[in-house]
Structure 1
Amino acid sequence: MIITAILTFGTSIAFWLVVPDSPTSAWFLTPQERVVSVMRLKANQTGVENKHFKKEQYVCEASVLQNDASRIYRMIEALLDPKTWLFALLSGLANVPKGLSNQSAVIIASIRFSILQTTLLGCVIGVGETVVIWTTCVISSRTGSRAWVIFVYYLPNNLGTILASTLPWTN
């Protein structure tokens, strides 16, 4: 645990020192490439850098809501949007199998596998995750829908978690 924390902290320091804040300060880009990257951001209508905190984007005060009916409309629209609820469900379902995946080595070892076999079977889980992530990206890019693809991919995962949690350990 300490080793992974040290590695994570070291990686974050390395990123902080090496990765630039914006395309305009990217040391690895030529001046022409910097201009192109800023133009892409402009085309997407996103800024290069903004260090100003806008309270009205984060806090909805009652007086503001009474004077601005469009904010209420946007809030209601977001609550009625199926994608909002799908992403909320996705966030909830993403946390269901965490406990099981963290205990997979214990579960595999309880089936009387050796330490080496348990480790090797854990590697298969990692390969499976990589394949699922790759196919999710491919299918999402072809269909144009991330939410539905991820939702469908979570169904067997959560079904397996429910079965592993509820089925008896013995026959």
Structure 2
Amino acid sequence: MGLWYTANGFGIALGGLLGFGIGHIRGALASWKYEFLIIGALCCIWGIVMYIFLPDSPITAKGLSMRERRIAVERLRENQTGVENKHFKWYQVRELFMDIKLYLFFLLGVVGNVPNGGISNFGTIIIKGFGFSTLVTTLMQIPYGLIIAISILSCVFLNDYMSRKGRQTRCWFILLYLCPNIAGAFGLRFLAADNKAGRLVSYYLTGPYNAAFVMILSMTTANTAGHSKKVVQNACLFLGYCTGNIIGPFFYKTEQAPEYPLGIWSMIVSHLIEVVLVLVLRFHLARENKRRDKIQSQMEGGLEGRDLDATAFSDMTGEYIASADDELC
């Protein structure tokens, strides 16, 4: 998931380069219209490629042999989250709406993307306020995109390294990669207007929040069992994602350009709320794991005697089975 999401960073970097080139087009249309036409056409072409070649499941992947398909599916056995199920199960949805994780992930989607909704729309204007020309601001997005990609890659690989040592640290990595964003937002708000280098660095520090969001995405997958429950959980998270991106730009008032103090404060407050929500989520997941382990330790066979093979692909939810991991968060 992290590798896939790095495309967000590389896309911003490549988009800055394309934007600079497209900005030099002199034709019958405004340059920004050419950008929509060119990049929109590339997206349409790639959409056709994806439709033809991207399988929707390991089971239907044409490029894999039967043995390789079985291996791909077997990888899902241990985490007990199941595989795709075409039958929508309403009891799983009812169960989900009684689960506090749904609302925590939704709120994390909102507060994690209020800053994104603002900085993605007004980032170039903020950079222009440092004294750069319109075209140069597009080039200044290249380092920003690369910082995002590097942040995501370093975050997921460090988390993977820790998980191989038996430590579940996703929540801590979310908090760690929120620190640069909080520092950057405070820099944008309080550094003097003539400190252009410091303010530019502060702007670049707002990029690593993408790594934190990738960790949140991975947590919904790892902590939700049952296909119907999982797809609704993901939908609610992305509903929060969209809500945050809608809300964000409203804090950037035209009369406050280019410093946008209200917009920068929205970033600071949102990230601080996100820190609190992540700590609450970790506490809840740790407590829930202990509760389930206690129940299962009293069952026949205990924790070590659980028959994971019997439940791995039965599309059961977390109310009935516990993860093989000692701690999901």
- State the TM-score, normalized to the length of structure 2: 0.39
Kindly indicate whether the alpha-carbon contact (under 8 Å) linking 1:136 and 1:149 is maintained by their aligned counterparts in 2. yes
Q: How far apart are the structure 1 equivalents of 2:109 and 2:46?
A: 26
Kindly indicate whether the alpha-carbon contact (under 8 Å) linking 1:97 and 1:157 is maintained by their aligned counterparts in 2. no
Kindly indicate which of the two structures has a greater share of residues assigned to helix.
1
1:112 equivalent to 2:136? Answer no
Note the residue ranges of structure 1 that are not aligned, 5 or more in a row.
Answer: 61-70
Number of residue pairs the alignment of both structures matches:
153
Partner secondary structure for residue 76 of structure 2: helix
Partner secondary structure for residue 52 of structure 1: coil
User: 1:24-81 deviations in whole A, cap 9, x for unaligned?
Assistant: 2211112221222233334444444311010011125xxxxxxxxxx9xxx5xx64x8
Kindly indicate whether the alpha-carbon contact (under 8 Å) linking 1:140 and 1:149 is maintained by their aligned counterparts in 2. yes
Offset at residue 132 of structure 1 (A): 1.2
Write the letter of the residue equivalent to 2:91: E
Q: How far apart are the structure 2 equivalents of 1:129 and 1:18?
A: 28
User: 1:100-146 deviations in whole A, cap 9, x for unaligned?
Assistant: 24322112222222345323321111111122112211222233312
Matches within 5 A, 1:8-47: 8-47=43-82
Note the residue ranges of structure 2 that are not aligned, 5 or more in a row.
Answer: 1-35, 163-167, 196-329
**Residue in structure 2 matched with residue 124 of structure 1 by the alignment:** 143
Identity, % of aligned pairs?
A: 36
Question: Structure 2 residue aligned with 1:148, among 142, 167, 172?
Answer: 172
**Residue in structure 2 matched with residue 63 of structure 1 by the alignment:** none
Q: How far apart are the structure 1 equivalents of 2:72 and 2:59?
A: 8
Distance change >3 Å, CA 168–CA 162, structure 1 → 2:
same
Distance change >3 Å, CA 91–CA 133, structure 1 → 2:
same
Question: Structure 1 residue aligned with 2:184, among 160, 164, 170?
Answer: 160
Query: What do you get for the CA RMSD once the two structures are aligned?
Result: 3.3
Structure number with higher relative contact order (C-alpha < 8 Å, ≥ 6 residues apart): 2
- 3-12 or 102-111, which deviates more: 3-12
- State the TM-score, normalized to the length of structure 1: 0.67
Q: How far apart are the structure 1 equivalents of 2:66 and 2:178?
A: 44
